[in-house]
Amino acid sequence: ARTLGLALAFVFLRQGDRVGLALIDGDHASILPPRGGERQLHEMARQVLSRPPAGPTALGSGLEAVVARHPRALVLLLSDLLTDQPQDWLVPLSVHRARGRMAWVIHVVDPAEIDFPYEEPARFVGLEGEGELGLNPRELAAAYRQEFASFLKDQEEACVDAALLHLLVNTGEPLDAPLREVLRG
């Protein structure tokens, strides 16, 4: 997500657009106002690379702050969409879209989330404060894959229903295709 976001910022800045950044963690959005120029890209990279993702995120309140401050902006949400409040991101982006503005939901997933390639008993640690679970993946693999596929489908359908542009990005694949897709959109 970081690499794709910075690559898109680079392209937009090179064509003379102003680009901003909102890093959302918890229910707080750290917002870098839109500006143009190379200095903006350096500041965006500094912020993105210095703040690792941490803790649960309420995307909805962060996005509300973004669209309230920049009601005419193109909004690109780059996220795994795994939030405390499922699809809390949908309302602010739907309102933004209903006002005639463009919004993309760039859903970033890891190949292991899709394939669940684990076979041996292991400890799984939640990266957003969920704790640890000791599991036998063989017993859960089929149910997990089905549940995750359903999750992906639900996110895509929610975007389609709200007229939001949706793009699923697998981090195990090159970024050139997603870059082209967003820039074409």
Instruction: Report residue 173 CA to chain centroid gap.
Output: 16
Q: Is 66 helix (H, G, I), strand (E, B) or coil?
A: helix
Confidence (pLDDT) at 102 = 92
Mean pLDDT of 79-83: 90
The neighbouring-strand residues paired with 123 are 134
Structure tokens at 48: 């993105």
Confidence (pLDDT) at 129 = 65
pLDDT classification of 128: cutoffs 50, 70, 90: low
pLDDT tens for 166-179 read 999 999 999 999 99
* Backbone phi, psi, residue 87, to 5°: 60, 30
Confidence (pLDDT) at 39 = 97
Judge whether 62 and 55 are in contact, CB under 8 Å: no
Structure tokens at 148: 């995750």
- Above 80 in pLDDT, residue 18? yes
Within 10 Å of residue 108's Cβ, how many Cβ atoms?
20
Judge whether 34 and 66 are in contact, CB under 8 Å: no
The dihedral built from the CA positions of residue 92, 95, 99 and 103, taken in this order, carries a sign that is: positive
Given the structure tokens 């143009």, which residue do they identify?
36
- Above 90 in pLDDT, residue 145? yes
Confidence (pLDDT) at 29 = 75
CA dihedral 103, 107, 108, 113 (to 10 degrees): 170
Structure tokens at 78: 């780059």
Instruction: Report residue 174 CA to chain centroid gap.
Output: 17
CA distance 17 to 112: 36
| 36 secondary structure, DSSP code | -
